[in-house]
């Protein structure tokens, strides 16, 4: 059997599995509800049946060779969706795919949705762009240098801006048409204060494993058995973004600081690392699959109003946190404006443009070459089109949330 025929047959199996799952879900809806939040009792049985298919019995050596060839040949989107299809065939295919596909830090590519919460590469950036739609107050993050002519760009994340009486929320989702917190496509959110000078970044999953006793009885909104384990109903504070007030109304770029509660300062020192989530969801839908809910979902609590000091992330120890600051621009006498070297990735002057570097001290064991290394840069290239390039130790979700803070109105900072 040829390699192409193998790929064609397991794609057909994938489509069949998807139709079976959809039929199973349709029979479990509550009356008067759009979707059920009850965890289906039949899920383990369906998984076992799928794993007994003909493709689950392939010799491990042959299966390893097939997936390695697919992973090496399909290095860019949309062709890389075949790698996602490999992981959706059955459990044995999924386990081998997890072993072969490397993290963005190691290979510089985004494959599974968990890649959006893993640190980027150290050497070369992951380059993306953001499309803003003022009519719908949405912001779409795409994978690629610039928008393509055929509009076949890979959507990574989507955000919707929601104005409230005392704050502004940016709800981040895996899809562009569902921003509900009750959806399994919910990723996190960014919330600002009234003046738009301070933003808090929330993740739907904790950066570290959280003991069950952290969720008190008073913080529960539902009984655990009434809520699906895949419902991301928690918010964990992972970063704080602060813009300095411009009291004197002096001309100049915005000044910002980002305190990353989930990234230690030691991660950028020599030999430093940052904790990388590795869980991959059990089911895929052919595009970017839904994020897994492996930790902390059985205790459904609302930590949005909690202070950063009560965040599960900060409870892991007293290790110094990574702080990012915007790189100071220089004044160009001929152009009469502030300038930064974006290496051709930014072409339009805007107050939103920025570059972030680590805020280091002489006591930190950070090489001199890395002290001014740009970790995140964001800038405008056209009407409602912006570029976003990020490096280790930031993830795509963290970088996107920081960029979203630049879109909010800041009359006290300009």
pLDDT tens digits, 88-144: 888 888 889 989 999 999 999 999 999 999 999 999 999 999 999 999 999 999 998
Query: What confidence category does residue 311 fall into, taking pLDDT thresholds of 50, 70 and 90?
Result: very low
Mean pLDDT value across residues 143-156: 83
Mean pLDDT value across residues 171-184: 93
With beta carbons less than 8 A apart as the criterion, state whether 388 and 399 touch: yes
State yes or no: pLDDT of 48 exceeds 70.
no
Mean pLDDT value across residues 71-88: 88
Query: What confidence category does residue 271 fall into, taking pLDDT thresholds of 50, 70 and 90?
Result: confident
263 φ/ψ angles, rounded to the nearest 5 degrees: -125, 120
State yes or no: pLDDT of 293 exceeds 60.
no
Segment 187-237, tens digit of pLDDT: 999 999 988 899 999 999 887 654 444 434 434 444 444 444 444 457 899
Report the percentage of the chain scoring pLDDT > 90. 40
With beta carbons less than 8 A apart as the criterion, state whether 377 and 400 touch: no
Mean pLDDT value across residues 286-311: 38
Nearest to 260 by CA among 320, 323, 187, 201: 323
Using CA atoms, how far residue 361 sits from 233, 268, 317, 323, 358, in Å, is 38, 12, 21, 11, 10
The mean of the pLDDT values for the chain is 77
Tokens in use for 385? 């089109």
Task: Check residue 27 and give its pLDDT.
Answer: 44
Mean pLDDT value across residues 48-73: 78
Query: What confidence category does residue 247 fall into, taking pLDDT thresholds of 50, 70 and 90?
Result: low
Mean pLDDT value across residues 325-340: 84
Q: At what angle do helices 3-26 and 43-51 cross, to 10 degrees?
A: 160
Task: Check residue 31 and give its pLDDT.
Answer: 42
Query: What confidence category does residue 291 fall into, taking pLDDT thresholds of 50, 70 and 90?
Result: very low
Q: Which span out of 9-13, 57-61, 369-373, 394-398 was modeled with the highest average pLDDT?
A: 394-398
Task: Check residue 168 and give its pLDDT.
Answer: 93
State yes or no: pLDDT of 361 exceeds 60.
yes
With beta carbons less than 8 A apart as the criterion, state whether 303 and 315 touch: no
Task: Check residue 153 and give its pLDDT.
Answer: 84
Q: Dihedral of the CA atoms 327, 316, 170, 339 (nearest 10)?
A: 0
């Amino acid at each position: 059997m040829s390699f192409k025929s193998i790929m064609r047959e397991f794609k057909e199996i994938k489509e069949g599995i998807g139709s079976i799952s959809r039929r199973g879900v349709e029979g479990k809806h509550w009356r008067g509800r759009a979707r059920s939040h009850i965890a289906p009792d039949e899920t383990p049985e369906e998984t076992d049946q799928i794993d007994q298919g003909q493709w689950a019995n392939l010799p491990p050596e042959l299966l390893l060779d097939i997936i390695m060839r697919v992973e090496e040949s399909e290095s860019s989107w949309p062709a890389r969706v075949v790698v996602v299809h490999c992981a959706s065939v059955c459990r044995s295919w999924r386990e081998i795919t997890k072993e072969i596909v490397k993290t963005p830090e190691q290979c510089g590519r985004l494959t599974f949705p968990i890649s959006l919460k893993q640190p980027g590469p150290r050497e070369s950036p992951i380059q993306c762009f953001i499309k803003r739609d003022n009519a719908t107050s949405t912001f779409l993050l795409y994978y690629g240098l610039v928008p393509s002519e055929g509009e076949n760009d890979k959507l990574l994340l989507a955000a919707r801006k929601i104005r409230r009486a005392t704050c502004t929320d940016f709800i981040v989702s895996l899809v562009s048409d569902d921003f509900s917190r009750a959806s399994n496509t919910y990723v996190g959110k960014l919330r600002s204060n009234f003046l738009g000078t301070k933003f808090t970044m929330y993740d739907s999953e904790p950066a570290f494993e959280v003991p069950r006793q952290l969720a008190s009885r008073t913080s529960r909104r539902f009984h655990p058995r009434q809520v699906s384990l895949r419902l991301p109903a928690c918010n964990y504070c992972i970063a704080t973004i602060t813009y300095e007030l411009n009291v004197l109304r002096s001309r100049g770029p915005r000044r910002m600081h980002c305190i990353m509660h989930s990234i230690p300062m030691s991660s950028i020192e020599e030999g430093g690392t940052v904790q990388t989530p590795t869980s991959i969801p059990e089911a895929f839908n052919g595009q970017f699959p839904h994020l897994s809910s492996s930790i902390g979902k059985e205790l459904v609590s609302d930590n949005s109003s909690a202070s950063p000091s009560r965040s599960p992330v900060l409870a892991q120890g007293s290790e110094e946190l990574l702080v990012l600051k915007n790189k100071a621009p220089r004044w160009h006498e001929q152009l009469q404006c502030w300038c930064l070297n974006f290496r051709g990735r930014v072409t339009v002057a805007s107050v939103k443009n920025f570059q972030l570097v680590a805020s280091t001290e002489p006591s930190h064991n950070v090489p001199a070459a890395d002290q001014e290394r740009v970790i995140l840069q964001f800038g405008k290239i056209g009407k409602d089109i912006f570029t976003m390039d990020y490096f280790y130790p930031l993830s795509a979700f963290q970088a996107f949330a920081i960029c979203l803070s630049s879109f909010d109105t800041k009359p006290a900072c300009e």
